[in-house]
Amino acid sequence: MDPSAVWRDKQHRWRIEAYRAPDLRFAVFATNGTTESAPLWLFGMAALARWLMTHAISLDDLETD
């Protein structure tokens, strides 16, 4: 399953992938150079909004990958 969109924060600490399968899901990866964490799965826009808010990441801080 390929992501339909991919974003990174400006500091390249996080990578977010969006999937449509059959609901909207997001996989969040912590990145550190060449290594990545296991994905944290978020289900729906509300879950992504809460995660972004708790990590103090605004939509302006995201760039497409």
Token reading at 36: 């990545």
Mean pLDDT of the chain: 92
Distance between alpha carbon 11 and the CA centroid of its chain, in Å?
Answer: 13
Decide: pTM greater than 0.75: yes
Residue type at position 16: I
pLDDT in tens, 19-49: 998 889 999 999 987 899 999 999 999 999 9
Q: Quote the pLDDT of residue 65.
A: 79
CA distance 30 to 20: 21
Residue type at position 2: D
CB 18 within 8 A of CB 3: yes
